[in-house]
Structure 1
Amino acid sequence: MNPFEIYQEKLHTPEEAVHLVQSGDWVDYSQTCSFPAALDAALAARRDELTDVKVRHAISMRPVQIVEQDPQRQAFTYNLWHCSGLDRKYIDTGRAFFSPMMFRFCGSYYSRGQAPVNVAMVTVSPMDRYGNFSYGLTNCCMQEMLDAADRIILEVNPHMPFIYGMADDHINIRDVDAVVENDQPLSEAPSRGASELDKQIAAQIFPFIHDGDTLQLGIGGMPNALGSLIAGSDLRDLGMHTELMSDGYLDLYKAGKITNKRKTLQKGKGVFSICSGSKELYEFLDHNIDILSAPMHYVNDPETIRQLDHFVSINGCIACDLYGQVSSESAGTRQISGTGGQLDFVTGAYTAEHGRTFLAMASSRVDKKGVRHSNIVPCFTGGDIITTPRAQTMYIVTEYGAVNLAGLTTWQRAEKLIGIAHPDFRDELIKAAEQQKIWRNSNKK
């Protein structure tokens, strides 16, 4: 049979296809935009006939029906590699669980058998004449996950762009068990506007960016503010090598700032592993030969990053202590996001020739009662997850400045970090540093 005949033979309704799932199974939705909306809804409808079905995903971008329709977890248990704002709500209300991981290792959890997959359900682009489906916006660890799966269901969506890949970027109709079709628009991640504080923090980082740098940007208001500064500047020939591509990069491409001409690896090609953003971004990527998707084990490998001279990594964090330990994923024991690729890029950027890594945050925050708290703390004692250890921290940035902690003593670190703390907290931070015996009497505010 030719591929189109095989396709028709394997084509089912979502309600038919989800009968491949049995009680006790592990089901995998992959990550972000690979989320199979029609299959998720059909699986949720089987709530009363299934038990102990574990579903794995990351960065939910729309309400997840196996959670919404089963809030007491009678049939389904939702597990997350990384969190969106929606996922935080699920975890906060006991409707989901978090799975600690580092992105460059995520595929290995599947290939080593630590993350079993009985049924994989993923969204892909329409089939080509050779019977191949592009993974589109989610390369990530898709191939390792599908290789581990006992049964595979594809949700074919015409809105999923075809994206050229370096490796592990497609699957053939002969290798799947069932196909369903869904023409719902893909989930989008609205671009967050930059606040005045975001702009102040971005302004502290901007002077460190030079012509020809290759950029890895996180997501959020501050990276968007930095992108605006770059787009309006005289900077030239920037490159892209990032785990997550967002609309911030689209703005830089449209402004002509990203050309990838000076990259020392994949010259002329922008590289990403997962993407979430706007419909405009998805359309920009469709059949765009200037951009490649690649597996996370490659994109986030410090050895890969090391080969990119003048690499600049910029990510957000939640808090930092006076020793330079950084928490980027929890507030106390409350899960906010995940380790993701932060430590991957902190490690890789430092080893790159002229590499620089920046972890940025507001110096303080105001709680619901109107009380201001410092985000630079004496030490972590409330169960906060340490994402970047002090031995690997390079630049810490707040609206009051950027300080490089690499190679510094504890007293030097305390001095520099207090210098970029909110002024209201500097005196008490000095007192804490004295009590912790990491303050010299010659130090000044």
Structure 2
Amino acid sequence: MTAERILHPRLRDRVVSAEAAAAWIAPGETVAMSGFTGSGYPKAVPIALAQQIETAHQAGQPFQIKLMTGASTAPELDGALAKADGIALRMPFQTDPDARARINAGKLDYIDIHLSHVAQHVWFGFYGEIDTAVIEVTAIREDGSLVPSTSVGNNKTWLDLAKKIIIEVNEWQPADIDGMHDIYYGTALPPHRKPIPLVHGDDRIGQTTLNCDLDKVVAVVRTNGPDRNSPFTPADETSERIAGHLIEFLKHEVARGRLPANLLPLQSGVGNIPNAVLAGLANSGFRDLEAFTEVIQDGMLDLLKSGVLRYASCTGFALSPAANEEFKRNIAFYRERIVMRTQEISNHPELVRRLGCIGMNGMIEADLYGNVNSTHVMGSRIMNGIGGSGDFARNGFLSAFLSPSTAKNGTISSIVPMVSHVDHTEHDVAVVVTEQGLADLRGLTPKQRARVVIDHCVHPDYRAQLEDYFDRACRDAYGKHTPHLLPEALSWHQRWLDTGTMREG
């Protein structure tokens, strides 16, 4: 790595190997690392730490850490530490299969939390002190300030509160990303908070770099490694139909005068279906769109390039390798149209409500009345976590949850009598969309919502079965407002566990 990335002489003197840096982390520490959806996470220190943990375990010595990040990371961080049995506690969001397996086996404690809550809960002291922060940056300026890389996440909080700081300076990250970030230092603890002075989604209210107490920096590590996000699967017929239903609904809302012609700021969860929605918007006729979201993925980059999207505000990227190369190749263009913020701003409930965001997120299942489960399979096994979907669902102008109507080769219905785990209550869910159709739940009573969901969202293989349940519930339930047959409400899930299918007979 060239010295130009580390311009502060005092920090240049602290350059060490990843192994030497990892040695600063002791068993039992709470370690806060950068990273958000496979971008901007430290590439070398976690691997070195995992190796040291494995060596300790081979010698019969206990060695685990409590790990916090912005959101999910990548195999070099979550994967390496999970395989080494090096994580005692993980929060707030993860997607790694090894970590997930350990969580669901009861071998790794996990706290699922709204992404907007993480920074402030740490400031409140809810999770104890942060011992070490490990932060990837693009460069260190002459004054010791840090140029963030491809995610910001909770890095400001980690740097402010950690007792020790380890910095990875990654030359793979484009130097020209400098200037894309907007780090706001105006937050305070209650009751002394002031309004956040952001009026438009692309306003800049902070500075382009992260502050860093140089006395806390114990090590600087030079790296040159790529972010790792999986390529998106090309849109199939199911995802295209889901996207088509949602886009047609948005056009209808514009025609009814409930949305402006350029909609309201968009938030999109990560995944193939939200990416298909973004791809559909490119050919929808909408123009001058805006995005105030957590993550920029391939589809949003395409919208910026085509001019359909005017700007995007985010806290990190989730770009495929090909999209990453496009971003780096034309970074001057994107730097004028992308603002990267701290996670506590990108997901801030008051800003989401004031800007009137349109939230588009995936789900595992929804029930008759519009309750949504976005985190747990069969009520008990965590998939990834709630992420930021709740921040936008409860506070946005409009919240849409998207899913195919079936899963596991049709053996699971995504629309069930009662969800096996509730992340988003019926009060926060406006629209449910499957490839079968779209259910607009706004202004409807519980029983009216049930009829709309059955008529528009349920797969034909399960429609009669769900109609039968609902009809009998309306007749026999303890109450008639939100009718449920308690012995049967979760029987579909139990049937799948017992027989491998939710179908009756």
Cα distance, 1:88 vs structure 2: 3.1
Distance 1:36 1:302 in 2: 28
Letter in 1 for 2:294: E
Distance 2:415 2:245 in 1: 17
Q: Percent identity?
A: 25
What are the superposed Cα offsets for residues 317-374 of structure 1, whole Å, 9 maximum, x if unpaired? Answer: 111111211001111211112111111101221xxxxx3221111112234xxx5332
Distance 2:80 2:342 in 1: 28
Q: 1:429 to 1:39 in 2, by over 3 A?
A: same
Q: 1:346 to 1:285 in 2, by over 3 A?
A: farther
Cα distance, 1:107 vs structure 2: 0.6
CA contact (8 A) 2:91 2:113 kept: no
Match in the other structure for 1:361: 403
SS at match of 1:239: strand
Distance 2:62 2:43 in 1: 21
* Residue 79 (1) aligns with residue 126 (2): no
The aligned runs of 1:150-229 (5 Å cut-off) are 150-161=163-174, 162=177, 163-167=180-184, 169-172=209-212, 174=214, 176-207=217-248, 208-209=250-251, 211-213=261-263, 214-229=265-280
The aligned runs of 1:20-419 (5 Å cut-off) are 20-32=24-36, 33-47=39-53, 48-49=55-56, 51-56=62-67, 57=69, 58-63=71-76, 64-68=79-83, 70=84, 73=85, 76-77=87-88, 79-86=90-97, 87-92=99-104, 96-115=108-127, 116-161=129-174, 162=177, 163-167=180-184, 169-172=209-212, 174=214, 176-207=217-248, 208-209=250-251, 211-213=261-263, 214-260=265-311, 270-278=312-320, 279-280=324-325, 282-283=327-328, 284=330, 288-309=335-356, 311-332=357-378, 333-349=380-396, 355-367=397-409, 372-380=411-419, 384-419=420-455
Query: How many residues are aligned here?
Result: 414
Letter in 1 for 2:283: G
Distance 1:88 1:194 in 2: 26
CA contact (8 A) 2:168 2:222 kept: yes
Letter in 1 for 2:210: H
CA contact (8 A) 1:7 1:173 kept: no
Q: 1:54 to 1:285 in 2, by over 3 A?
A: farther
Give structure 2 stretches of 5+ with no counterpart: 1-5, 186-208, 255-260, 481-505
Moved more, 287-296 or 114-123: 287-296
What are the superposed Cα offsets for residues 423-443 of structure 1, whole Å, 9 maximum, x if unpaired? Answer: 221221112112322899xxx
Distance 2:385 2:327 in 1: 25
CA contact (8 A) 2:27 2:63 kept: yes
Using the size of structure 1 for normalisation, the TM-score is 0.86
CA contact (8 A) 1:23 1:51 kept: yes
Distance 1:290 1:220 in 2: 22
Distance 2:170 2:445 in 1: 54
Distance 1:82 1:424 in 2: 34
Give structure 1 stretches of 5+ with no counterpart: 261-269, 350-354, 441-445
CA contact (8 A) 2:87 2:108 kept: no
Q: 1:237 to 1:407 in 2, by over 3 A?
A: same
SS at match of 1:201: helix
SS at match of 1:126: strand
Letter in 2 for 1:51: P
Using the size of structure 2 for normalisation, the TM-score is 0.76
Cα distance, 1:307 vs structure 2: 2.4
CA contact (8 A) 1:52 1:77 kept: no
Distance 1:290 1:432 in 2: 50
* Residue 4 (1) aligns with residue 22 (2): no
Letter in 2 for 1:143: K
Q: 1:281 to 1:147 in 2, by over 3 A?
A: farther
SS at match of 2:355: coil
CA contact (8 A) 1:17 1:180 kept: yes
Match in the other structure for 1:17: 21
Q: 1:365 to 1:8 in 2, by over 3 A?
A: closer
CA contact (8 A) 2:21 2:221 kept: yes
Distance 1:138 1:342 in 2: 18
Cα distance, 1:4 vs structure 2: 2.6
What are the superposed Cα offsets for residues 60-113 of structure 1, whole Å, 9 maximum, x if unpaired? Answer: 322432233x2xx3x543624212253434534666442110011011222122
Q: 1:357 to 1:23 in 2, by over 3 A?
A: closer
What are the superposed Cα offsets for residues 350-403 of structure 1, whole Å, 9 maximum, x if unpaired? Answer: xxxxx3221111112234xxx5332111113xxx33111112210111112212
CA-based RMSD of the aligned residues comes to 2.4
What are the superposed Cα offsets for residues 119-169 of structure 1, whole Å, 9 maximum, x if unpaired? Answer: 111211122333322222222222112222110100110123433214265
Q: 1:85 to 1:9 in 2, by over 3 A?
A: closer
Distance 2:26 2:183 in 1: 35
Letter in 2 for 1:357: S
